[in-house]
Structure 1
Amino acid sequence: MPQQSDLSYPLSAVVGSEDMVLSLVLASIAPALGGVLVRGEKGTAKSTAVRALARVLPPVRVVEGDRFSTDPDDEAEVSPDGPFGVDAAVTSRPVRLVELPVGAGEDRVTGSLHLERALADGVAEYEPGLLARAHRGLLYVDEVNLLHDHLVDLLLDASATGRATVERDGVSLTHPARFVLVGTMNPEEGELRPQLLDRFGLAVDVAAPRDPATRVEVVRRRLAYEADPAAFVARFAQDEHLLASRIADARDLAASVVLGDAMLLAVAQVCAAFEVDGLRADIVTARAAVAHAAWCGRTGVTREDVRVAARLALPHRRRRSPFDSPGLDDDLLDQALDDALGPDDEPEPPTPDGGTDGGGGGGGGGDGPGDSDGPATDERPGTAPEGGTSSTPDVPSARTDDVPAPQPHAPQPEPPQQPAGPTTTAAADAPFRTRLLQARGTTRGRSRSDAGRRSRAESATGRRTGARPASRGGSLHLLETLRAAIPHQAARGRGTGAGGGDRLLIERSDLREAVREGREANLVLFCVDASGSMAARSRMAAVKATILSLLLDAYQRRDTVGLVTFRGSAAELLLPPTGSVDVAAARLEQMPAGGRTPLAEGLAECARVLDRERRRAGARRPLLVVVTDGRATSGPNALTRSLEAADVLAADGVDTVVVDCEAGPMRLGLARTLAARLGAEHLPVGTVDASALDAAVRGSILRGRAA
């Protein structure tokens, strides 16, 4: 039963986004699914729906004083705090919603030595982390795409196995960690790595509603909630109670649901048709189909259960490259089901409330339209969403036919100063593996979010390269601290009774922190020459392939990217710095070419962009990649002004790489001259391809051996 004292927004009052709510419900029915990833633009009820889910989950029975919340009715669950006697007090409590901050460390997630007890009492006691607290509850990670990879992997491993193992700080133990893992993210702020994306059991994309009537209902409910939260929650109390009861019944029924051989073959047929890697997709789809059957009150899996499960479990697994859009082809899905089960001539089975699985949302309570195209919300805790589900507690099956797809990013209009003239838009050639481009030297990482795989930097993780006097916020290095204190023990009176007997005497000046070197992510700003000298179709296709390959490399190294282009008489910031490289790839694909070459204006625009980014909190170290043939033909003294603009960037200490696109027998070497003025690394475009470079080096070695 939902907690009436909780005034958070009710799940049954959310309008639209049936697929998102259904995926959360299915993961609650079958936690072994591996969690849910919710992707969507800001203001789409992601956080609101997750926080509302905790209200409708059944309470859990726990032993009083058990920090690990083990199930007293499950003899297989052993708590590190146990054993508990047969007369131990047992109580019920609501399901916990544990939120994991993006900046949390590994010790906060898994737990570690209780430092206060160790220092004060000399007792080695384990302090549980967030995984232990989330056991039998919800673990929520907002902006999961900004969480460090090894922490995401740690969460997903625990979610899949149901246990967490701790081997750190002299602590060695294993404890239960079964929870519903929910991650939310805005794709425009960066993508999850493919290997991590695949580890989420279900994934769903949400978008804001386009229907005016739905938007009106969203606003009406939000205003009503903000005016009187208690009255609004009471208004939906009955719906919340029904929804909670249905989830509890589905959990009990799930163990009795039969997945027959025919339906299991259909699952395998669908997964094979979409060419997903590995067998995790088959397992998750099968589990989701069972959970959906239980949610609908059935004891056998049907065709519609498999279809719904495939819609939620497969779209994020079929991406062949980071720039592929997730999604399923409905015709291919139907064809795969027809091949396995025969044509679908049967009517859709009814749900417990008398409807059918495949419909749109059913309205309830006379609160407005119950069918919508998507959500829109203020995602702050305790506020009403701007979208979600209808007031009925019956969450329909995931159907995307009526949900509008996110609108593609349209290219920005041409600046008014661009002269009219012929332009071309060439498609990129196939991308390739690039050589590593990195900023020079080693810097001290400014934040945990800087962690990446490009340039050398001091960081909280990585190999230890030394130690230094501890600063506020640094990680204490115990061994180096002891080494610093030992030479001063006699002077401090150790062993004479004056300083405390035989205890090691440590002062603040002895404290040392480890210096570790790892890799950081950078702001990679592409400055692309789109002028007429680059506009030959075959040439621009090769240039775009080079940039696309560098974007792919930036994706894999967790970089932020931006895109400046110049042609005609002006430069344009085609894409402000963003973590979403697939957006950058889309803008690159639409980039026109033609006209004169305003190289000076392009470099000046880059200087302005980098200056703005430098002033932002937590700004990343920039790496400027200039892609040009070096010709400057726009305006008076074009070449001189270009070199002067290069001097400004060089004076600012911007690390730069010039990719020289000059081709043909008559070469002027202007890009090399530009690189020299920028203090940049000069790379002919052919040497960016790591495979070609490796082949050239091997050929040179073989020729040398033959000689």
Structure 2
Amino acid sequence: MSTRYPFTAVVGMDDLRLALLLNAVSPAVGGVLVRGEKGTAKSTAVRALADLLPEVPVVAGCRFSCDPASPDPGCPDGPHEVAPASARPARMVELPVGASEDRLVGALDIEKALADGVKAFEPGLLADAHRGILYVDEVNLLHDHLIDLLLDAAAMGSSYVEREGVSVRHAARFLLVGTMNPEEGELRPQLLDRFGLTVEVAASREPGQRVEVVRRRLAFDDDPAAFAARWAGEESALRERIAAARALLPQVTLGDAALLQIAATCAAFEVDGMRADIVMARTATALAAWAGRTDVTSDDVRQAALLALPHRRRRNPFDAPGLDEEKLDETLEQFKGEDEGRGEGDEDPDPGPEGPGGPGGGGGVPPQGEGPDSAPEGGGSDGQSDDGNDGAEQAPAPAPRPDGAGAGERAAVKAAEPFRTKMLSVPGLGEGAAGRRSRARTEHGRTTGAVRPRGALTKLHLTATVRAAAPHQKARGRSGPGLVVRRDDLRQATREGREGNLVLFAVDASGSMAARQRMSAVKGAVLSLLLDAYQRRDKVGLVTFRGRDAEVALPPTSSVDAAAARLELLPTGGRTPLSAGLLKAHDVLRVERLRDPSRRPLLVVVTDGRATGGGSDPVALAARAARLHAADGTAAVVVDCETGPVRLGLAGDLARELGGSAVTLDELRADSIAGLVRNVQAGQSTRRAA
């Protein structure tokens, strides 16, 4: 008996359970993305789904799970002309965030391929997940190159592995399920669209539900087997209902009226492409089958829209996901067909994941008096903590600031419209996390050289290997056309790509920046840089300084949403403690170098360069603080916010002390003449020469 937490024992979270069950009924729906804060049982519910899926018939001995009824003609273990069949439980394969490409797609034995001329292929996680579930926890933290491989496999239903003329193809059709904490960063739009449905989860604020969550979690931890046994009846009944819905699914009719509502809804909400229409159609059909009906109603279309459209409406990473339900209802009503009623006496079962225990079961919760733990209805979680980060990546909520607090403080102003910025990069060659900003040694990218491999060979440099083996062929007794290759001849390719950086913003919020039009432009510029950081897969942090001191408004995080929210609430006023802001930024970078030494920082100081607070000689203190960053080798850019016909050029002086460059707000735009990358590199060269 499984010791996973039972699916039917999960308290509340109706949308999540419904989305998972609809995919169990119809895998063609396309998977689920689960968004929510840490500790809301996202991973627990997903893992519990695997025990509800029916067994999968497979060709006996096939490592790629071919279906005996229609085996893959190109299967590497084939051909399967007369194939004995067997059955196994549906698999749920977990893809770790730090997995390598070889672990995902499989690995070729390069040495055997070169020496013996045979294909020796070890299947990866994509092959294991074929005809099952591929689960990615913290999917928003997955490396870009792995996301690209997932996109290709999800789109084509197969995986290709090609290495130096040796290629393998195998089927890879799977249900993609991902969980993520939005505070740790958003997904690329291309991957976001690959998930059929999305749900938002949050812990219940109702004390009774929270009590029930804790009670069940403690009971499970004390004796997992006994707890699972007490829910075995409900699990079995739910498994039978899934099987019945699967059997009914081919008989469900999607009428013209429902199709028109689906098309009108997708058009009204301006979603890109046609995938949303297709996913909505499949989801509405699965909803009808789950409810035991053979016709799709407006209610099915409405529920399908609430699950399939919110994540497809995001135009930029700062747009909150969601759907205007009033607009949805108006659209459905406008295109409602004339005959949508059910026959008299037909039941209207709740489309949600009703508990298999009968009336009152409510999503797997047993009726009053049945089972060990009766639970109140509604949303909640089972209390299992997810494996996400809950340390430095989580930014504290900004403390409420009463109106008029602080001398000379002005209310926060709205940011101007963001624009496309020129690229800022860190000079030199790094080895940090994969991204799209600065040059770095990476597993992917253009080949720049070759070295002897350390450990297993993963990226063969064929030309260098042949050159190393060629001089020894006579001594090795070569007699035929084949090349005699030994382990010492193998060469690993070195490659250069791009890395993500830590972009730390130090923003001047003093009185000299407080003019409404000016601060609005400054916020718009920082917001533009945050958008650029999102696209380049950076971590970001925000330090602000005003009055007498500086504060860390946002510790370094992958969530540009959080940075944008802090920026929007930023008030202004008071003196300019420039030295305090630079020292605070220095402290943040010092800690981050210890925590993540391979991720190189880029300091972006947004100021007019004035220093009027922080000591008896604020200008000298600011220069001394700037030289600390220069001594650490931190790449820096000063965004000069000084305006007006008379300019003092103080931001340029600060940039020279930092060993970086200064650019104006106008020069920050991508269509301006100034070359920011050249400026940053020139500043670094000047500092090295000095």
Question: TM-score if structure 1 supplies the norm length?
Answer: 0.87
In 1, the alpha carbon distance for the partners of 2:25 and 2:213 equals 28
In 1, the alpha carbon distance for the partners of 2:146 and 2:215 equals 40
Q: Is the 8 A contact 2:287 2:351 kept in 1?
A: no
Structure 1 residues 111-120 or 598-607, which shifts more? 111-120
In 2, the alpha carbon distance for the partners of 1:503 and 1:357 equals 64
Select the residue among 289, 297, 302 that pairs with 1:302. Answer: 297
Residues 363-408 of structure 1, C-alpha deviations (whole Å, 9 max, x = no match): 4243333423332633469xxxxxxxxxxxxxxxxxxxxxxxxx99
Residues 394-439 of structure 1, C-alpha deviations (whole Å, 9 max, x = no match): xxxxxxxxxxxxx998423679xx9533323110010000000111
Provide the secondary structure at the position in 2 that maps to 1:461. Answer: coil
The residue that corresponds to 1:74 in the other structure is 70
Matched, 1:436 2:436: no
Matched, 1:468 2:455: no
Structure 1 residues 468-477 or 662-671, which shifts more? 468-477
The residue that corresponds to 1:202 in the other structure is 197
The residue that corresponds to 2:183 in the other structure is 188
Q: Identify if the C-alpha distance between structure 1 residues 325 and 34 changes in structure 2 by more than 3 Å, giving closer, same or farther.
A: same
Provide the secondary structure at the position in 2 that maps to 1:430. Answer: coil
In 2, the alpha carbon distance for the partners of 1:371 and 1:569 equals 51
Q: Is the 8 A contact 1:561 1:578 kept in 2?
A: yes
The residue that corresponds to 1:327 in the other structure is 322
Matched, 1:65 2:61: yes
**1:149 Cα deviation from its structure 2 partner:** 2.9
In 1, the alpha carbon distance for the partners of 2:486 and 2:15 equals 59
**1:105 Cα deviation from its structure 2 partner:** 2.9
Structure 1 gap ranges (5+): 382-406, 697-707
The residue that corresponds to 1:542 in the other structure is 521
The residue that corresponds to 1:251 in the other structure is 246
The residue that corresponds to 2:282 in the other structure is 287
Matched, 1:221 2:216: yes
**1:143 Cα deviation from its structure 2 partner:** 1.2
2:594 counterpart letter in structure 1 = R
**1:104 Cα deviation from its structure 2 partner:** 2.4
Select the residue among 272, 278, 283 that pairs with 2:273. Answer: 278
The residue that corresponds to 2:366 in the other structure is 364
Matched, 1:494 2:476: yes
Q: Mapping of 1:601-680 within 5 angstroms?
A: 601-617=580-596, 619-634=598-613, 635-680=615-660
Structure 2 gap ranges (5+): 355-359, 388-393, 677-690
Q: Is the 8 A contact 1:163 1:177 kept in 2?
A: yes
Select the residue among 104, 128, 137 that pairs with 2:99. Answer: 104
Q: Is the 8 A contact 2:413 2:519 kept in 1?
A: yes
Structure 1 residues 67-76 or 586-595, which shifts more? 67-76
In 1, the alpha carbon distance for the partners of 2:349 and 2:279 equals 28
Q: Identify if the C-alpha distance between structure 1 residues 419 and 351 changes in structure 2 by more than 3 Å, giving closer, same or farther.
A: farther
Select the residue among 506, 531, 546 that pairs with 1:552. Answer: 531
**1:209 Cα deviation from its structure 2 partner:** 1.1
In 2, the alpha carbon distance for the partners of 1:115 and 1:531 equals 61
The residue that corresponds to 2:661 in the other structure is 681
In 1, the alpha carbon distance for the partners of 2:126 and 2:502 equals 33
When the two chains are superposed, the root-mean-square deviation of aligned CA atoms in Å is 3.0
Residues 422-476 of structure 1, C-alpha deviations (whole Å, 9 max, x = no match): 3231100100000001111112x14xxx111101111111111222343457744
Structure 1 residues 672-681 or 71-80, which shifts more? 71-80
Structure 1 residues 354-363 or 174-183, which shifts more? 354-363
Q: Identify if the C-alpha distance between structure 1 residues 556 and 333 changes in structure 2 by more than 3 Å, giving closer, same or farther.
A: same
Select the residue among 138, 144, 150 that pairs with 1:155. Answer: 150
Q: Is the 8 A contact 1:563 1:575 kept in 2?
A: yes
Matched, 1:456 2:439: yes
1:243 counterpart letter in structure 2 = L
Structure 1 residues 91-100 or 671-680, which shifts more? 91-100
**1:269 Cα deviation from its structure 2 partner:** 1.1
In 2, the alpha carbon distance for the partners of 1:168 and 1:214 equals 54
1:562 counterpart letter in structure 2 = G
Matched, 1:599 2:578: yes
Q: Is the 8 A contact 1:457 1:518 kept in 2?
A: yes
Q: Identify if the C-alpha distance between structure 1 residues 370 and 81 changes in structure 2 by more than 3 Å, giving closer, same or farther.
A: farther
Q: Is the 8 A contact 2:73 2:79 kept in 1?
A: no
In 1, the alpha carbon distance for the partners of 2:105 and 2:482 equals 35
Q: Identify if the C-alpha distance between structure 1 residues 695 and 657 changes in structure 2 by more than 3 Å, giving closer, same or farther.
A: closer
Q: Identify if the C-alpha distance between structure 1 residues 265 and 489 changes in structure 2 by more than 3 Å, giving closer, same or farther.
A: same
1:337 counterpart letter in structure 2 = L
Q: Identify if the C-alpha distance between structure 1 residues 140 and 316 changes in structure 2 by more than 3 Å, giving closer, same or farther.
A: same
**1:196 Cα deviation from its structure 2 partner:** 1.8
In 1, the alpha carbon distance for the partners of 2:506 and 2:443 equals 32
In 1, the alpha carbon distance for the partners of 2:455 and 2:657 equals 40
In 2, the alpha carbon distance for the partners of 1:210 and 1:601 equals 40
Structure 1 residues 570-579 or 478-487, which shifts more? 478-487
Provide the secondary structure at the position in 2 that maps to 1:615. Answer: helix
**1:81 Cα deviation from its structure 2 partner:** 2.2
Provide the secondary structure at the position in 2 that maps to 1:690. Answer: coil
2:425 counterpart letter in structure 1 = Q
Q: Is the 8 A contact 1:659 1:683 kept in 2?
A: yes
Paired positions, count: 655
Q: Is the 8 A contact 2:17 2:353 kept in 1?
A: no
In 1, the alpha carbon distance for the partners of 2:69 and 2:671 equals 59
Q: Is the 8 A contact 2:284 2:303 kept in 1?
A: yes
Matched, 1:584 2:563: yes
Q: Is the 8 A contact 2:280 2:304 kept in 1?
A: yes
In 2, the alpha carbon distance for the partners of 1:180 and 1:507 equals 40
Q: Is the 8 A contact 1:112 1:171 kept in 2?
A: no
The residue that corresponds to 2:308 in the other structure is 313
**1:255 Cα deviation from its structure 2 partner:** 1.3
In 2, the alpha carbon distance for the partners of 1:625 and 1:185 equals 29
Select the residue among 402, 409, 423 that pairs with 1:422. Answer: 409
**1:333 Cα deviation from its structure 2 partner:** 0.9
Q: Identify if the C-alpha distance between structure 1 residues 505 and 198 changes in structure 2 by more than 3 Å, giving closer, same or farther.
A: closer
Structure 1 residues 555-564 or 19-28, which shifts more? 19-28
In 2, the alpha carbon distance for the partners of 1:685 and 1:674 equals 16
Provide the secondary structure at the position in 2 that maps to 1:73. Answer: coil
Structure 1 residues 28-37 or 270-279, which shifts more? 28-37
Q: Is the 8 A contact 2:35 2:201 kept in 1?
A: yes
Q: Identify if the C-alpha distance between structure 1 residues 646 and 617 changes in structure 2 by more than 3 Å, giving closer, same or farther.
A: closer
Q: Identify if the C-alpha distance between structure 1 residues 348 and 459 changes in structure 2 by more than 3 Å, giving closer, same or farther.
A: farther
Q: Is the 8 A contact 1:198 1:316 kept in 2?
A: yes
In 2, the alpha carbon distance for the partners of 1:641 and 1:323 equals 37
Structure 1 residues 56-65 or 478-487, which shifts more? 478-487
Matched, 1:266 2:261: yes
Q: Is the 8 A contact 2:501 2:538 kept in 1?
A: yes
Q: Identify if the C-alpha distance between structure 1 residues 129 and 496 changes in structure 2 by more than 3 Å, giving closer, same or farther.
A: closer
Q: Identify if the C-alpha distance between structure 1 residues 32 and 349 changes in structure 2 by more than 3 Å, giving closer, same or farther.
A: farther
The residue that corresponds to 1:391 in the other structure is none
Residues 258-298 of structure 1, C-alpha deviations (whole Å, 9 max, x = no match): 10000000001111111111111111111111111111111
The residue that corresponds to 1:375 in the other structure is 381
The residue that corresponds to 2:681 in the other structure is none
Provide the secondary structure at the position in 2 that maps to 1:139. Answer: strand
